[in-house]
């Protein structure tokens, strides 16, 4: 009769306790000082709320038995040594920044589960052949600066130094914000690239309805959708709301309104999985009795593959230009970021599916419409992602929630995955 498997050595309630702790820590992080507002969770990159979260995450990692460092873009990286110092580490990561008025689990849960994996190994007194590095990225959402995923791009070696000059809505540049956070304003970007990893792994809430519909707690991500983000501007003529006849107006906001509906119509009729979102808009000068002269809005465009995404981008550029021409207003569109579709590594995903099945899941596979640091980290090492069911698929919303039992299932699957991966690289101690 074979002995208990390695992951069963740890009492189940211990894993449950560690999973519940991971959930509690996400909820702790949803309140000041880790949120910019007491009324809602907003934690944007390099704000005091983010740096307070950096501090507590560093303490949690240290307490879990890791050595901890802060890289030049404020990524917290905890390291739990392996038994074979010649092997590169496995990086487990996700992000601790949030969108405005966010839920508590998007990104944060993946970091807390990474720490819980180290706690589980520590409590087992076990070492994997490779080191584990847990990365808490501070900018995945792009909710403060124009470009998103600045921190993981730096670690993956794909960040352009020019990104440090991107400015937020108040004109504060990334380099200024680094300085305000007590970090060098101009880190040597090339030196931030990670020396190499055997793989990158990310656990994340699904942020969609598929797992709930499949009655599954966990799923394995097959690929992450392609996405592009644009800055669009309509340049009209500001004018008096009372004296300017309708036929003589060059109203930038009504042009933008027609453009936004055209985007919705195009994407709704487009290929499966094509989605387009205008999430932010500003109208200047922004007075009730002034015809808007300048309008800025963002366009977030995604599709399962690069070709559908790019075909939509090219078509919409023409549609928006024609609207501007007919309305005799100016129009400009600027690429903010371009993230190609990213397939998960097959062998890692198969190992992850085995681990999920060994803990009672079906091993269902699904693609991710949401972007993740994993799509950037795939430049550095093969990646795999585990999705965790979230209620109603709701995310980017304070109603975002997870079942502690699902998080415990995720931790079991992650520990099992680590041991299986460890078997590939030598004997687990």
* Only segment of 9-17, 98-106, 145-153, 398-406 that touches Mn ion (CB under 5 A): 98-106
Distances in whole angstroms, Cα of residue 375 to Cα of each of 70, 102, 226? 22, 22, 9
Build a one-symbol-per-residue string for 182-221: x at contacts with ligand HGY by CB under 6 A, - elsewhere.
----------------------------------------
The helix (H) or strand (E) run that includes residue 309 is: helix 306-326
Which option in ligand HGY, Mn ion, none does residue 406 bind, with CB closer than 5 to 8 A by kind? none
Which option in ligand HGY, Mn ion, none does residue 138 bind, with CB closer than 5 to 8 A by kind? none
As measured in angstroms, the least distance from the Cβ of 95 to ligand HGY is 8
Total length of the chain: 429
Q: Does 141 engage in binding with ligand HGY (CB under 6 A)?
A: yes
As measured in angstroms, the least distance from the Cβ of 122 to ligand HGY is 31
Sequence-ordered list of residues with C-beta below 8 angstroms from that of 87, at least 6 positions apart, any chain: 129, 130, 131, 198, 425, 426
d(CA 93, CA 136): 6
Backbone angles phi, psi at 342, to 5 degrees: -130, 110
How many Cβ atoms from other residues are within 10 Å of residue 112's Cβ? 29
d(CA 428, CA 250): 69
Q: Does 103 engage in binding with Mn ion (CB under 5 A)?
A: no
As measured in angstroms, the least distance from the Cβ of 97 to ligand HGY is 9
d(CA 6, CA 155): 32
d(CA 47, CA 280): 20
d(CA 367, CA 361): 17
Please identify which residue in the block is written with the tokens 């950037």. 376
Q: Does 140 engage in binding with ligand HGY (CB under 6 A)?
A: yes
Build a one-symbol-per-residue string for 131-160: x at contacts with Mn ion by CB under 5 A, - elsewhere.
------------------------------
Q: Does 370 engage in binding with ligand HGY (CB under 6 A)?
A: yes
Q: Which is nearer to ligand HGY, 140 or 400 (CB)?
A: 140
d(CA 333, CA 210): 34
As measured in angstroms, the least distance from the Cβ of 344 to Mn ion is 16
Is 122:159 a contact under the CB 8 Å cutoff?
no
Q: Which is nearer to Mn ion, 151 or 256 (CB)?
A: 151
Backbone angles phi, psi at 78, to 5 degrees: -95, 145
As measured in angstroms, the least distance from the Cβ of 346 to Mn ion is 23
As measured in angstroms, the least distance from the Cβ of 207 to ligand HGY is 7
Q: Which is nearer to Mn ion, 208 or 382 (CB)?
A: 208
Among 106, 133, 294, 300, binds Mn ion (CB under 5 A): 106
Q: Does 294 engage in binding with ligand HGY (CB under 6 A)?
A: no
Q: Does 107 engage in binding with Mn ion (CB under 5 A)?
A: yes
Backbone angles phi, psi at 357, to 5 degrees: -65, -35
As measured in angstroms, the least distance from the Cβ of 93 to Mn ion is 11
Task: List interacting residues with ligand HGY (CB under 6 A).
Answer: 140-141, 370-371
Task: List interacting residues with Mn ion (CB under 5 A).
Answer: 106-107
């Amino acid at each position: 009769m074979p002995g208990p498997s390695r992951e069963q050595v740890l009492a189940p309630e211990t894993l449950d306790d560690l999973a519940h702790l991971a959930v509690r820590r996400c909820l702790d992080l949803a309140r000041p000082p880790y949120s910019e507002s007491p009324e809602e969770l907003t934690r944007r990159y390099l704000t005091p709320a983010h740096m307070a979260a950096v501090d507590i995450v560093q303490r949690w990692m240290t307490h879990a038995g890791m050595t901890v460092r802060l890289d030049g873009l404020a990524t917290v990286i905890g390291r739990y040594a392996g038994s074979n110092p010649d092997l590169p580490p496995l990086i487990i990561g996700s992000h601790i920044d949030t969108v405005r008025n966010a839920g508590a689990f998007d990104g944060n849960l993946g970091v807390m589960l990474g720490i819980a994996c180290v706690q589980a190994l520590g409590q087992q007194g076990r070492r994997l052949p490779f080191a584990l590095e847990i990365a808490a990225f501070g900018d995945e959402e792009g909710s403060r600066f124009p470009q998103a995923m600045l921190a993981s791009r730096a670690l993956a070696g794909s960040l352009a130094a020019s990104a440090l000059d991107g400015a937020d809505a108040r004109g504060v540049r990334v380099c200024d914000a680094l300085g305000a956070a007590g970090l060098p304003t101009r880190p040597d970007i090339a030196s931030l690239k990670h020396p190499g990893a055997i793989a990158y792994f990310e656990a994340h809430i699904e942020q969609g309805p598929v797992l709930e519909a499949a009655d599954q707690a966990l799923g394995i991500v097959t690929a992450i959708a392609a996405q592009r983000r644009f800055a669009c501007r309509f340049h009209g003529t500001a004018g008096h709301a009372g004296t300017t006849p309708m036929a003589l107006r060059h109203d930038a906001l009504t042009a933008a309104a027609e453009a936004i509906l055209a985007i919705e119509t195009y994407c709704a009729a487009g290929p499966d999985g094509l989605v387009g979102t205008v999430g932010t808009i500003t109208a200047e000068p922004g007075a009730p009795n002034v015809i808007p002269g300048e309008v800025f809005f963002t366009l977030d465009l995604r599709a399962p593959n690069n070709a559908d995404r790019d075909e939509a981008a090219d078509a919409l550029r023409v549609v928006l230009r024609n609207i501007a021409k007919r309305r005799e207003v100016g129009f400009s569109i600027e690429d903010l970021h371009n993230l190609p579709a990213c397939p998960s590594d097959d062998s890692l995903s198969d190992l992850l599916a085995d681990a999920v099945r060994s803990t009672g899941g079906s091993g269902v596979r699904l693609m991710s419409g949401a972007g993740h640091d994993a799509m950037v980290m795939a430049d550095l090492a093969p990646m795999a992602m585990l999705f965790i069911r979230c209620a109603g698929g709701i995310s980017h919303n304070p109603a975002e929630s997870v079942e502690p039992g699902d998080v415990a299932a995720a931790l079991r699957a992650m520990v099992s995955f680590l041991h299986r991966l460890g078997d590939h690289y030598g004997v687990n101690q």
